[in-house]
C-alpha cells in the first residue's frame, strides 16, 4: 500500500488522468450508450470496469523517462478519448460498438462521411476536456516531474491486474459464460468495459482467422447432416411456377414494416406498397437478420442462406471463400445474373465479393448518369435509379436474375423540398422525423418502376422479390418511436418486433395471393427462390427453409442470438409471449434457444472455416 501511495504521489498527472478517464467513461456509459443495469452488482461492474483499463493504458507511461512521461500521458488520454468517441458516433446510429473488421473497412469511409457529420454533436467537445486540462497542467507547470523508479511499472501492473480479475470474476458470476457471447457486444461492454472489450474483440478476430487454417474436409460432413435434417419439401403447386422467368430482386433501403399500412398525419406513408399487398404474397412476420454488415449482410443472407458475421462484414472478411451462392447456381441453369446499384463498386467490397458469389455483371455508378440535380444524400435518387435501370434490364439476356439496390431512404434521410410528398414527423428525433418523407419518396419511385416495367413489356415475364434490407431507425430513437407508435415505452420485446421488414413475392398473373403470417427471415429467401424457379435444394448447405413449404415451422434466428417463433420471442435473456409481450418463464423459450444457437454456430463454422471449399461440386 505504501508503494501505491508513493507511486501516485510521484506522478500526480497520471493519477488525474486515470480518474478523469475512469469517470468520463462511466458517464458515457450512462448518458451516451444508455446502458441500463438491473441490480447493484451490475451497476458496480459498470462503474468499476473502466478503472483497470485506465490503469493499464496510463501504466505504459511509466516505461518512459521522466522528461517524456507527462507528454505520453496526454497522448494516451487523447487516443483513448478518440476510441470512446468513435464508438459513440457508431452507437448513435447502429446501437452497437465498433469491432476490428469495421475499423478496417476504410474503403467505405468516403461514402459515410456525411452520416458521420450528421451524428456529431457540439456537446461532444466536452469529451476532450480532460485532454485540454492535462495539457494546461503541463504547460503551466502545475505538476511536478520526478525521476523514474524501477518498481513503479510493477506496482501499477499488479494493481491493475488485481482490479481486472476482480471485475472478470464478478462478471462471470453475474453472467455465466459471458465470454462466449461475442455477438452481444453491449453485454460485454457492460461487464468488462469498452477498452477490455476491444482487446477481447481483437483476440476473437485473430482466432477466427485461424479457423480456416485448421479446417479439414471432414468438418463439412457434420454441417451437411445438420442442414439436411432441416430440409423441407416445397409446395407442389408453387414449385417451378417461375421457371424460365426473369427474377428481379429489389432491396429497399432501410424499410421497416412499421410504416406499411400506417399513416402520418392522416396520409399513407407507403400507398403503393400497401396496394401491392393485394396482388402479392406478403409476409408480415419477416425479419432482417443483419449485423454490422447491414445491406451487405442482407445480400449475403439472400444469396447464400448463411448468416453474416456477428462482427464486421463477410463481404470484407471472407470475400475469397467458396460459396454455393444463388447467382452461381442460377448461372449454371441458364440465367444471366447481375446487380444494379448506383454506388462505387468497391463499397462494401462488392467488386470482389460479387465474383465469389458468381454474378456475371455489376452495374455500378459508372453505368448511371449521376449529377447534382438527380442526387441527394448517398447518391442517385431512387426515381432516376429505377428509370435508368430500365434500359440496362432491356439489354440483358433472358432469363436473368437481377438485384436492384436503392439508396435514397438511407440515413441521414436527406431529401429536397421538391421531393417531399408528405411532411416530416414532429418529435425529438430528427432522424425519425425525416425518415417518413424518404420512405414515401421511395414508395413513389418504386411505383414508377413498376409502371415502366409494364410499358416496356418486362413485367409479365418476371417475378419480383421485394424486401427491406435492414432497420432504418435504431434504438437510440426509442422515445420518438414510442411517440409515433403510441406506446408508453419501447421494450426489448418491441425492439425485436421493430426488426421486421416487408417481404413481397409478386408473381404477375398469379391469383392465389395472401398475407402470410409465418415467422421468417432473409435467410429463407434462397431456398424459396430456387423452388419457385424449379430447382432442387438437396445437397445444398443452407440454414433457411422454403417460405411456402407446407411443413414449415414459424421460426427465425436473429444475428444477436434472439429468436422468434409463432408464440414466443426470446431476446437478451428474457422470454416474451409474442401475442402481447408479456414475460414468460424462460423454459418456454429454452428448446428453440438451443436450436438458435446451433444455427448460428454451424453457419459460423461454414463461413469462418471456408468449409464449402470441401463440398462436392454440384
H-helix segments, 456-542: 478-484, 492-497, 525-532
Question: What CA–CA distance (Å, rounded) separates 359 from 405?
Answer: 15
Helix pair 12-31, 40-59: axis angle to 10 deg: 140
Reading phi first (left if > 0) and then psi (alpha if -120 to 50, else beta), residue 280 is in: beta
CA 260, 264, 266, 271 torsion-angle sign: negative
Query: How far from 435 is each of 257, 287, 476, CA to CA, in Å?
Result: 13, 19, 14
In eight-state DSSP terms, residue 405 is: E
Q: Which helix (H) or strand (E) holds 520?
A: strand 520-521
String of DSSP letters for 442-487: HHHHHHHHHHHHHHTT-GGGEEEEEEE-S-SS-GGGHHHHHHHTT-
d(CA 118, CA 120): 6
| Euclidean distance between CA atoms 57 and 82, whole angstroms | 14
Give, for 257, the enclosing helix (H) or strand (E).
none
Q: Please name which of 361, 277, 363, 284 lies closest in space to residue 327, comparing C-alpha atoms.
A: 361
Handedness of CA 414, 416, 417, 420 (dihedral sign): negative
Please compute, for residue 210, the number of CA atoms within 13 A of its CA located in the half-sphere on the CB side.
6
CB 219 within 8 A of CB 77: no
H helices then E strands: how many in the chain? Answer: 22, 19
Beta bridge partners of 468: 252
The verdict on whether 263 is a catalytic residue reads no
CB-CB contact of 353 with 308 (8 Å): no
Catalytic residue among 99, 208, 290, 295: 295
Name the one residue in this structure whose C-alpha cell is 424457379: 533
**How far is the C-alpha of 440 from the C-alpha of 423, rounded, in Å?**
10
Give me the phi and psi of 362, to 5 degrees please: -120, 110
**Cis status, amide bond into 377, omega within 30 of 0:** no
Asked whether 486 and 306 are in contact (CB, 8 A), the reply is: no
Q: Is 499 helix (H, G, I), strand (E, B) or coil?
A: coil
CA 158 to chain centre: 39
Residues found in the chain: 618
Burial of 505 (0-12, 13-18, 19+ CB in 10 A): buried
Helix axes 12-31, 66-94, angle to 10 degrees: 0
Q: What is the DSSP letter of 500?
A: B
Q: Could you say which DSSP state residue 331 is in?
A: H
Q: Which three cell numbers stand for residue 453?
A: 416495367
Q: Are 304 and 326 in contact (CB under 8 A)?
A: yes
Q: Which of 311, 297, 230, 323 is nearest to 599 (CA)?
A: 230
Query: Among all residues, which ones are annotated catalytic?
Result: 295
Amino acid at each position: 500500500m505504501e508503494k501505491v501511495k508513493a507511486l501516485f504521489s510521484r506522478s500526480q498527472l497520471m493519477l488525474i488522468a486515470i480518474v478523469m478517464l475512469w469517470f468520463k467513461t462511466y458517464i458515457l456509459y450512462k448518458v451516451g450508450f444508455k446502458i441500463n443495469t438491473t441490480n447493484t452488482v451490475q451497476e458496480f461492474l459498470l462503474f468499476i470496469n473502466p478503472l483497470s483499463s485506465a490503469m493499464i493504458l496510463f501504466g505504459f507511461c511509466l516505461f518512459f523517462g521522466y522528461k517524456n512521461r507527462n507528454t505520453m500521458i496526454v497522448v494516451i488520454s487523447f487516443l483513448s478519448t478518440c476510441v470512446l468517441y468513435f464508438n459513440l458516433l457508431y452507437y448513435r446510429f447502429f446501437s452497437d460498438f465498433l469491432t476490428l473488421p469495421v475499423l478496417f473497412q476504410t474503403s467505405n469511409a468516403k461514402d459515410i462521411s456525411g452520416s458521420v457529420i450528421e451524428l456529431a454533436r457540439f456537446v461532444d467537445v466536452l469529451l476532450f476536456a480532460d485532454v485540454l486540462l492535462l495539457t494546461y497542467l503541463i504547460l503551466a507547470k502545475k505538476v511536478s516531474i520526478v525521476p523514474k523508479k524501477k518498481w513503479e511499472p510493477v506496482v501499477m501492473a499488479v494493481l491493475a491486474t488485481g482490479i481486472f480479475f476482480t471485475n472478470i470474476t464478478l462478471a462471470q458470476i453475474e453472467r455465466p459464460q459471458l465470454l462466449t457471447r461475442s455477438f452481444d457486444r453491449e453485454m460485454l461492454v457492460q461487464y468488462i468495459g469498452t477498452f477490455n472489450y476491444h482487446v477481447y474483440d481483437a483476440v476473437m478476430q485473430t482466432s477466427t482467422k485461424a479457423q480456416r487454417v485448421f479446417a479439414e474436409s471432414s468438418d463439412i460432413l457434420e454441417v451437411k447432416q445438420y442442414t439436411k435434417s432441416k430440409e423441407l419439401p416445397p409446395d407442389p403447386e408453387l414449385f417451378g411456377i417461375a421457371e424460365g422467368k426473369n427474377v428481379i430482386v429489389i432491396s429497399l433501403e432501410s424499410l421497416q414494416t412499421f410504416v406499411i399500412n400506417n399513416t402520418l398525419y392522416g396520409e399513407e406513408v407507403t400507398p403503393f406498397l400497401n396496394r401491392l399487398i393485394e396482388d402479392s404474397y406478403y409476409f408480415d412476420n419477416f425479419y432482417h437478420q443483419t449485423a454490422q454488415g447491414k445491406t451487405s449482410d442482407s445480400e449475403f443472407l439472400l444469396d447464400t442462406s448463411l448468416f453474416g458475421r456477428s462482427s464486421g462484414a463477410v463481404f470484407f472478411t471472407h470475400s475469397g471463400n467458396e460459396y454455393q451462392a444463388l447467382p452461381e447456381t442460377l448461372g449454371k441453369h441458364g440465367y444471366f445474373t447481375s446487380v444494379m446499384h448506383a454506388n462505387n463498386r468497391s463499397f462494401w467490397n462488392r467488386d470482389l465479393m460479387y465474383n465469389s458469389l458468381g454474378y456475371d455483371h455489376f452495374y455500378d455508378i459508372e453505368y448511371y448518369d449521376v449529377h447534382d440535380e438527380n442526387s441527394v444524400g448517398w447518391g442517385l435518387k431512387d426515381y432516376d435509379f429505377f428509370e435508368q435501370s430500365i434500359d440496362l434490364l432491356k439489354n440483358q439476356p433472358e432469363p436473368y436474375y437481377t438485384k436492384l439496390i436503392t439508396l435514397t431512404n438511407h440515413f441521414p434521410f436527406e431529401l429536397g423540398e421538391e421531393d417531399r410528398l408528405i411532411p416530416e414527423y414532429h418529435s425529438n428525433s430528427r432522424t425519425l422525423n425525416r425518415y417518413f418523407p424518404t420512405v414515401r419518396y421511395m414508395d413513389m419511385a418504386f411505383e414508377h418502376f413498376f409502371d415502366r416495367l409494364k410499358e416496356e413489356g418486362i413485367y409479365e415475364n418476371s417475378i419480383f422479390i421485394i424486401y427491406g434490407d435492414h432497420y432504418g431507425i435504431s434504438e437510440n430513437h426509442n422515445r420518438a418511436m414510442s411517440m409515433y407508435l403510441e406506446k408508453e415505452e419501447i421494450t426489448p420485446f418491441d425492439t425485436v418486433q421493430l426488426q421486421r421488414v416487408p417481404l413481397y413475392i409478386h408473381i404477375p398473373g398469379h391469383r392465389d395471393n395472401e398475407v402470410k403470417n409465418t415467422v421468417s427471415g432473409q435467410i429463407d429467401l434462397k431456398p424459396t427462390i430456387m423452388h419457385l424457379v424449379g430447382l432442387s435444394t438437396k445437397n445444398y448447405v443452407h440454414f433457411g427453409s422454403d417460405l411456402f413449404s407446407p411443413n414449415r415451422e414459424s421460426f427465425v434466428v436473429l444475428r444477436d442470438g434472439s429468436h422468434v417463433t409463432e408464440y414466443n420471442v426470446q431476446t437478451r435473456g428474457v422470454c416474451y409471449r409474442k401475442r402481447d409481450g408479456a414475460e414468460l418463464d424462460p423454459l418456454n423459450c429454452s428448446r428453440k434457444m438451443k436450436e438458435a444457437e446451433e444455427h448460428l454456430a454451424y453457419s459460423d463454422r461454414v463461413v469462418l472455416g471456408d468449409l464449402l471449399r470441401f463440398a462436392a461440386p454440384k
